[in-house]
Amino acid sequence: MTNKISFRNVSRRFAHHGASFLALDRLSVEVAEGEFVTMVGPSGCGKSTALAIAAGLLEPTEGEMIVDGRLVHGPGPERGVIFQQYALFPWLTVRQNVEFGLRIAGKRAAERRAIAQHFIDLVGLADFADSLPKVLSGGMKQRCAIARAYAVDPTILLMDEPFGALDALTRVQMQDQLLDAWSRELRTVMFVTHDVNEAVYLANRVIVMAARPGRLYEIIPVDLPYPRTEAIRLSQEFAEIRNRVWRAVYHQPTTAPDSAAQENFGEVK
Amino acid sequence: MRRVNNLGGPARYGVTGHGAEIASLPRRLCDGWKSAAGRDAERRGDVSTANAIRNGAAIVLVAGRGDDTSSPPGRGGVVSKSAEAPAAPESSRQRPGRRQLMLNAAAVCGGIVLWGAAVSFARVGLPSPGQVLARAIELVRSGQLLADLVASLSRVLAGFALGVALAIPVGFLMGWYSTARGLIEPFVQFFRMIPPLAVIPLAIVTMGIGETPKVFVIFLAVFLSSVIATFQGVVSVDKTLINAARVLGAKDGTIFRRVIVPASTPFILVGMRIGLGSAWATVVAAELIAAQSGLGFRMQQAELYYDLATIFVSLITIGILGLAMDRLLLALEMRLTQWQERM
Residue B52: the pLDDT is 39
Query: Is residue B321 pLDDT above 60, yes or no?
Result: yes
How far off is chain B from A103, nearest CA to CA, in Å?
Answer: 10
How far off is chain B from A265, nearest CA to CA, in Å?
Answer: 20
Determine the Cα angle at B226 with ends B213 and B290, to 5°.
20
How far off is chain A from B267, nearest CA to CA, in Å?
Answer: 14
CB-based burial label for A155 (10 Å; 0-12, 13-18, 19+)? middle
Judge whether A227 and A179 are in contact, CB under 8 Å: yes
**Mean pLDDT for the stretch of residues B195-221:** 88
Cα B235 to Cα B132, B163, B179, distances in angstroms: 49, 20, 14
CB contact under 8 A, B83 and A170: yes
How far off is chain B from A251, nearest CA to CA, in Å?
Answer: 33
- % of chain B at pLDDT higher than 90: 40
Q: Which of B39, B40, B240, B248 to mutate to test the interface with A (most CBs of A within 10 A)?
A: B248
Q: Is B74 within 8 Å of chain A by CB?
A: yes
CB contact under 8 A, A57 and B240: no
CB-based burial label for B4 (10 Å; 0-12, 13-18, 19+)? exposed
CB contact under 8 A, A90 and B340: yes
Q: Is B94 within 8 Å of chain A by CB?
A: no
Partners of residue A57 in chain B, C-beta under 8 Å? 243, 246-247
Interface predicted TM-score (ipTM) of this complex, two decimals: 0.85
Cα B193 to Cα B137, B188, B196, distances in angstroms: 41, 9, 9
pTM, to two decimals = 0.71
The candidate with the shortest Cα–Cα distance to A252, out of A220, A222, A197, A208, is A208
Rounded to whole angstroms, the Cα distance separating A241 from A206 reads 10
Q: Is B252 within 8 Å of chain A by CB?
A: no
Partners of residue A97 in chain B, C-beta under 8 Å? none
Partners of residue B247 in chain A, C-beta under 8 Å? 55-57, 75, 79-81
Q: Looking at domain A1-69+193-269, does it have CATH number 3.40.50.300?
A: yes
Rounded to whole angstroms, the Cα distance separating B291 from B269 reads 30
Residue A36: the pLDDT is 95
**What is the CB neighbour count within 10 angstroms for residue B170?**
18
pLDDT band at residue B95, thresholds of 50, 70 and 90? low
More confident residue, A43 or B22: A43
Residue A135: the pLDDT is 93
Residue A1: the pLDDT is 57
Q: Is B179 within 8 Å of chain A by CB?
A: no
Phi and psi at A155, nearest 5°, equal -90, -15
Q: Is B44 within 8 Å of chain A by CB?
A: no
CB contact under 8 A, A137 and B82: yes
Rounded to whole angstroms, the Cα distance separating B248 from B11 reads 42
Residue B120: the pLDDT is 84
Residue B49: the pLDDT is 39
Phi and psi at B292, nearest 5°, equal -115, 5
Query: Is residue B303 pLDDT above 60, yes or no?
Result: yes
How far off is chain B from A247, nearest CA to CA, in Å?
Answer: 31
Partners of residue B266 in chain A, C-beta under 8 Å? none
Q: What b/e string do you get for B115-152 counting C-beta neighbours within 10 Å, with b at 16 or more?
A: beeebeeeeeebbbeeebbebbeebeeeeebeebbebb
Q: Which of B39, B90, B239, B247 to mutate to test the interface with A (most CBs of A within 10 A)?
A: B247
CA B118 and chain centroid, separation: 34
Query: Is residue B58 pLDDT above 60, yes or no?
Result: no
Which DSSP state fits A134? G
Arithmetic mean of pLDDT over chain B: 75
Closest CA in chain B for residue A167: B83
Query: Is residue B204 pLDDT above 60, yes or no?
Result: yes
Q: Is B238 within 8 Å of chain A by CB?
A: yes
How far off is chain B from A240, nearest CA to CA, in Å?
Answer: 27
Strand partners, A188: A156
Rounded to whole angstroms, the Cα distance separating B184 from B191 reads 11
Q: Is B340 within 8 Å of chain A by CB?
A: yes
Rounded to whole angstroms, the Cα distance separating A47 from A41 reads 7
The candidate with the shortest Cα–Cα distance to B172, out of B130, B121, B234, is B234
Hey, CA dihedral for A165, A171, A177, A181, is it positive or negative? positive
Closest CA in chain A for residue B252: A104
**Mean pLDDT for the stretch of residues B223-240:** 91
Which residue ranges in chain A fall short of pLDDT 70? Answer: 1, 254-269
How far off is chain B from A155, nearest CA to CA, in Å?
Answer: 13
Query: Is residue B25 pLDDT above 80, yes or no?
Result: no
Give the nearest partner residue to B32 out of A79, A104, A127, using CB atoms.
A127
Rounded to whole angstroms, the Cα distance separating A163 from B300 reads 66
Cα pseudo-dihedral B125, B126, B128, B131, rounded to 10: 100
Residue A170: the pLDDT is 85
Query: Is residue B105 pLDDT above 90, yes or no?
Result: yes
Residue type (1 letter), A56:
G
Partners of residue A176 in chain B, C-beta under 8 Å? none
Rounded to whole angstroms, the Cα distance separating A124 from A243 reads 34
Element housing A190 (H / E) = strand A188-193
CB contact under 8 A, B240 and A90: no
CB pairs under 8 A between A and B: 102
CB contact under 8 A, A101 and B249: yes
Judge whether B256 and B200 are in contact, CB under 8 Å: no
Determine the Cα angle at A261 with ends A256 and A266, to 5°.
100
Determine the Cα angle at B242 with ends B238 and B248, to 5°.
140
Q: Is B250 within 8 Å of chain A by CB?
A: yes
CB contact under 8 A, B86 and A166: no
Partners of residue A138 in chain B, C-beta under 8 Å? 83
Strand partners, A39: A192, A207
Rounded to whole angstroms, the Cα distance separating B72 from B29 reads 9
Residue B208: the pLDDT is 83
pLDDT in tens, A195-240: 999 999 999 999 999 988 889 999 999 999 988 988 999 999 999 9
Rounded to whole angstroms, the Cα distance separating A57 from B244 reads 10
- Number of residues in chain B: 343
Give the nearest partner residue to A55 out of B40, B89, B247, using CB atoms.
B247
- Number of residues in chain A: 269
Query: Is residue B10 pLDDT above 70, yes or no?
Result: no
CB-based burial label for A257 (10 Å; 0-12, 13-18, 19+)? exposed
In this structure, are strands B12-15 and A3-16 parallel, antiparallel, or unpaired?
unpaired
Q: Is B67 within 8 Å of chain A by CB?
A: no
CB-based burial label for B194 (10 Å; 0-12, 13-18, 19+)? exposed
